Chain A
Amino acid sequence: MHFFMLAVESWATRLKAGLARTREVLGTPLAHLFARQRIDEALFEELEAALLQADCGVEASGSLIAALRERVRSERIEDGGSLKRALKQALLELLAPLERPLDVSRAKPCVIMVAGVNGSGKTTSIGKLAHWLQAQGSSVLLAAGDTFRAAATEQLVAWGERNRVAVIAQPSGDPGAVVFDALGAARARGVDVVVADTAGRLPTQLHLMEEIRKVKRVAAKALEGAPHEILLVLDASTGQNALAQVKAFDDALGLTGLVLTKLDGTAKGGAICAIAKQRPVPLVFIGVGEGIDDLRPFVARDFVEALVG
């Protein structure tokens, strides 16, 4: 418990530090707005601009600002400090329902399937996820289900070596076969968690969406109830297409959670606001750096704190 608390704290500091770097580069859009004395139309407009620039999207930004106006009126908010608290509150109400811890104890082996578009950070996230699971005391097995991209298997094997975790791979080109194999191996070895990588695919590639559906079916055939978790990896720098990705993968696979990566850059990942409004799939993890321990459980309060300051 203590370890976990510490981890959360250091995550918050790190995330904040990451965004602080952002502020140095960009100048902070939000903090100086709240320093202003008067709450007027121009301030609302600037706040909306700040949300838009964080990729929150036209609709979510608009409704957040509308909620804020309502609060200002009903609670007679007059100073910047209270307005800031009100915005945090509105964001928190939007994002808190997305909070969900990953529970791998409900099945053994617990099978986690990881999907996403090309370059969103699936393999890297799996490497970090394996590390996190081990730190939680679970034994882990990785399945190299990306049989398409050049050297994807080698990349996962490298992560396996770093974590001292076995990686199941096959020379054949069929991701379903790899997953089938991995589940057999996991049962034989009594492993707690299997994490299956898949090739990156765009939702417009219908045949590839069909293929990943098949991988899911194969997993269910190999082990009843599998896959127990289907996570979609999203790049925080993605704009409004992030919502389209969530919808498409959710429709195809029935997602149980999201992983938001690359939050250590200047992108703020505001697309999650649009996702929270229109397709609230839980956000399980966020990636906040390049280190192996930079994948952290999502905590809405910390996230909002880091975003608004």
Chain B
Amino acid sequence: MLDNLTARLAQIAKRIRGEARLTEANISDALREVRVALLEADVALPVAKHFIESVRAKALGEEVVGSLTPGQALVGVVHRELAALMGEANVGLDLAVQPPAVILVAGLQGSGKTTTCGKLAKLLLGEKKKVLLVSCDVYRPAAIEQLKVVAAQAGADFFPSAVGEKPVDISRRALEHARTHYHDVLIADSAGRLAIDEEMMREIADLHGVLMPIETLFIVDAMQGQDAVNVAKAFNERLPLTGVILTKLDGDARGGAALSVRHVTGKPIKFAGVSEKLGGIEPFHPERMASRILGMGDILSLVEEAHAKVDLEEAKRIAEKVKKGKGFDLEDFKQQIAQMNKMGGVASMLDKLPARLAGQIDPAKLQDDRQFRRIVGIINSMTPQERRKPELIKASRKRRIAAGAGVPVQEVNRLLNQFEQMQKMMKMMKGGNLQRMMRGMKGMLPGMR
């Protein structure tokens, strides 16, 4: 209920409907709600205050265009400003330097440095780089062992180090090794440290001096609270950070820390960690993060995930069919459901929908994606001809199909109705744009009220 800022603002907007401009008076309540939303999302208080003031300044006098309510217009301003503050667009790694390009990661204990090192290695290996990993964490028990295992999983080279050694010496030798063995990239993991631990902060500054990394990445836990602003400030003062990686974004934290860190360091957030698996790293998208902090969901990520995981050949074949006007048949519908399952099933898609949409879906109905299996069962009970030409299916065929799939006839009717709607949508869509197709499919999810 709290995470639905849009709904709360809509409530306020009802009271101020019919005003043509945003004024001090009609936005103050709404801005208070925005402030609460930001604090609930763990945006640091000074950052939230600063942000509210800048929105107030920008919003005043803004014209309420067309059919928008002042509340909606304000959400527009808030979202725009938040996205702008998060950074203009996604910024990737900069490794344009004479090899080895060195990446140094730093952060608090438990922020996810070692796992992130493995993910970065895997990412870079995918770009045909030769990668060497080294651990300078001689403090936490088995930290070096952990990186060694992670390196092996990623398929990257590992430079061994030992607990008795000095981190600076380790890094010097690793750098030398990377040079003589023609590695493109050296990724150096460091021990977790508190920003107020003077000795440890000096150590990481020394490490930086030896390695001269082209990328110095600060790792931040997306669940971090108000303190993020202090920690990021302290690290930024001691290390010339080049970017930030936000981890554990697959949790349900709204990730206001991202805004705090961005605000005090001014450095781009380059990646987001989204699972424990080594492939779980995504380019960071400022605009989507803005939506998440405001509780507006992450539809765009969903679309992109669809792009990545859906079998492109299959999608193309379907798109081709639609283009030729040959029609989208039930067989294709079945394929689409199979692809949806590949994306982690409906439950994982649900996470990414805005609260407003997700609220309309009854999670109980989604259990085990049983509904989908039913649909597949019904389609499997049809003859190939029926699948190609569903209009053939009349009462007696329906009875036969229902009996074959073990469902009531109404379910067969419902499927056919859904399919018909889908076909209509396909016709509207010219050229088979997958993104639009996915958006349309959302409405077709079973369980949607």
Interface residues of A (CB under 8 A from B): 21-22, 25-26, 49, 52-55, 57-58, 117-121, 124, 127, 148-152, 154-155, 157-159, 162, 202-206, 235, 237-242, 244, 262, 264-268, 270-271
* Distance of B190 from chain A, by nearest CB (Å): 15
**CB neighbors of A among B1-54 (8 A):** 36, 39-42, 44-45
Beyond A150-B149, A158-B141, A240-B40, whether A266 also contacts B230 by CB under 8 A is: yes
Tell yes or no: B226 within 8 A of A by CB: yes
Tell yes or no: B72 within 8 A of A by CB: no
Once bound together, how far apart are the Cα atoms of A266 and B146, in whole Å? 27
Number of residue pairs A-B, CB distance < 8 angstroms:
150
Once bound together, how far apart are the Cα atoms of A118 and B44, in whole Å? 23
Once bound together, how far apart are the Cα atoms of A150 and B150, in whole Å? 7
Interface residues of B (CB under 8 A from A): 36, 39-42, 44-45, 108-112, 114-115, 140-143, 145-150, 153, 194-196, 221, 223-228, 230-231, 234, 248, 250-254, 256-257, 276, 347, 351
| Residues of chain A within 8 A of B45, CB atoms compared | 49, 52-53
* Distance of A89 from chain B, by nearest CB (Å): 24
| Residues of chain A within 8 A of B149, CB atoms compared | 150-151
Q: Quick one: which of A49, A149, A241, A244 contacts B146, CB cutoff 8 A?
A: A149
Once bound together, how far apart are the Cα atoms of A258 and B87, in whole Å? 38
| Residues of chain B within 8 A of A21, CB atoms compared | 196
Once bound together, how far apart are the Cα atoms of A242 and B347, in whole Å? 23
Excluding A148-B276, A150-B150, A271-B225, 14 further A-B contacts by CB distance (< 8 Å) are A58-B39, A118-B248, A119-B109, A119-B248, A151-B142, A154-B142, A154-B145, A155-B143, A202-B251, A238-B225, A239-B253, A244-B252, A262-B109, A266-B227
Once bound together, how far apart are the Cα atoms of A68 and B150, in whole Å? 51
From B194, which residue of chain A is reached at the shortest CB distance? A265
Is A117 a contact partner of B141 (Cβ separation < 8 A)?
no
Is A266 a contact partner of B195 (Cβ separation < 8 A)?
yes
Is B109 a contact partner of A155 (Cβ separation < 8 A)?
no
* Distance of A243 from chain B, by nearest CB (Å): 10
Once bound together, how far apart are the Cα atoms of A161 and B294, in whole Å? 47
22 A-B residue pairs with CB within 8 Å:
A52-B39, A55-B227, A150-B150, A154-B142, A155-B140, A155-B142, A155-B143, A157-B142, A158-B141, A204-B251, A235-B110, A235-B223, A237-B221, A238-B225, A239-B226, A239-B253, A240-B42, A241-B42, A241-B252, A262-B108, A262-B110, A270-B226
| Residues of chain A within 8 A of B108, CB atoms compared | 237, 262, 265
- Which 7 residue pairs are nearest across A and B when measured between Cβ atoms? A239-B225, A119-B110, A158-B141, A239-B42, A150-B149, A151-B146, A154-B142
Beyond A150-B146, A150-B150, A266-B196, whether A241 also contacts B251 by CB under 8 A is: yes
Interface centre among B44, B230, B257 (most CB of A within 10 A): B230
